[in-house]
Amino acid sequence: DSATSSGGDTLAGDTVVIQVPADGPYGIKLRSDDTGNAAVIHSFEKLPSGKFGPIQKHGGIHYGDVLCEINNTKLSTVPHAEAGQMLSNRNTLKKILKFQSPKVYYRSK
């Protein structure tokens, strides 16, 4: 698959950056943050092929982590539904996603 990523681990306080293909699925279920914005990893699910998605495969992104940025657009003030639309927009050929642990995300808000 064509996912590329930086190393790091949100549990270590890192902001993890991963590039995913334009088309999902990405193997994650998302919910809103405490304010109804952004996108928090609610669960991982296997792809239709039975494999792990690119985000889970990275290994440094975990349940509860916050998708805080898509292509340099900060999601902390973007309603959750809009963040989901940005993620599923097939016209955006390259998607660069940034994840943070809840501890880091809520501290920086």
pLDDT digits (tens, 9 = 90+) for 17-66: 999 998 889 999 999 999 999 999 999 999 999 999 999 999 999 999 99
pLDDT mean across residues, the chain? 92
20-25 long-range Cβ contacts below 8 angstroms, 24+ apart: 20/54, 20/55, 20/95, 20/97, 21/54, 21/95, 22/90, 22/91, 22/92, 22/93, 22/94, 22/95, 23/90, 24/87, 24/88, 25/53
pLDDT value at 1 more than 50? no
The reported pTM is 0.91
Number of neighbouring beta carbons within 10 Å of residue 7: 10
Amino acid letter for position 41: I
Going by DSSP bridges, is the β-strand pair 66-70/16-21 parallel, antiparallel, or unpaired? unpaired
